[in-house]
Structure formats: structure tokens, C-alpha cells
Amino acid sequence: MIKSLVAAILILGLIYTIHNTLSSNKETLDKENDENYSVYDFSLQDLDGNEISLSDFKGRSVVLNFWATYCPPCEKEMPYLNNIYEEYKKKGIEVLAVNAKEPRIIVSPFVKEKNLKFPVLLDRTGTTVDQYKVLNLPVTLFIDENGTIIERFSGELTEKKIRNSVEQIVP
């Protein structure tokens, strides 16, 4: 009887863990006490060497994506982000992709191959990645026009999840 009880508890624990892992990768934000809720300004170079700051998009909602070329889930999200950018840019939504610590010589061909239209920024030193406490890639933040992080996701997102989150930040 005790063996059955222990086995049942272990099975329930396993089911609970699997359910929580699969059901959502959304990180909970405590608006009062969580510094992850705050937007940090940064300035990074785009692929043409232009300096771009997050504050350049003040008054616009931003989808901020941290990624790398060696990350399969990141690669899978890129067409979704491109579609969202093309569809929502006239509605006040900007997509910014911050590449984590890779050189331009690697990032540039990737962007051309994927035909990405949104700005891709290079965080060569990892300062912005660290500032936003990005531990795994990809990480995507949905920031409203007031500069408030509405949602933060760690891990791969479907186009539907991206679209649903973007709808929450349309100005």
C-alpha cells in the first residue's frame, strides 16, 4: 500500500511538472516589485553600423526579441516576427531583434537569407542581454507605448502567441 501511495505521488508530481512546462513559458511580472517589469534604455548598432536606442521608439509599442543564429527556436520565430512587423508597423508596433554576442559577419548573412525587414541590433558585449537578465534564448518582451513591459516570454513562441501578445500592446 505504501509503495502504491509513493508511486501515485511521484506520478502526480511528474504530471504537474509536465503540465506547467508545456502550458506556458510566460514569466510572471510583479508590477510593484519586479525590476524585470522596467524597461532599460540601451543603444546598439544595427547591421549598417547605425546607433539605435530603445528610446528612439518612445510612444510606440515594441516587441523586443533576444536571439542568436545558433538557436533553432530563435530561427523558427524569425518569420513570425517578420510577419508581425509587416502587418503592425503602421499601427504603431516596432519589432527589434537584439542578437546576443555574435559578430556582424555571422548575423548579416542570416538576416539576408531570412529576408528580415525589422531592425536587428548587435549586442556584441552582452551588456543589454545582461541588463534584461536573459539567461536562455529566445526571450521576447512586449512593451506598450508607455514603455511598460506587459509580457515577457522565455522560449519559443508560436505566431499565434506573438499575435495575441501584440494585440495587447497596439496603441
DSSP 69: T
pLDDT band at 7 (very low <50, low <70, confident <90, very high): low
- Give one word for 34, left, alpha or beta, with left for phi > 0 and alpha for psi -120 to 50: beta
**Does the pLDDT at position 161 exceed 70?**
yes
* Spans of all domains in the chain: 26-169
65-99: per-residue pLDDT in tens?
Answer: 999 999 999 999 999 999 999 999 999 999 999 99
CATH architecture of 26-169: 3-Layer(aba) Sandwich (3.40)
Q: What is the mean pLDDT of the segment spanning 99-106?
A: 97
CB 61 within 8 A of CB 169: yes
The pTM of the whole model exceeds 0.85? no
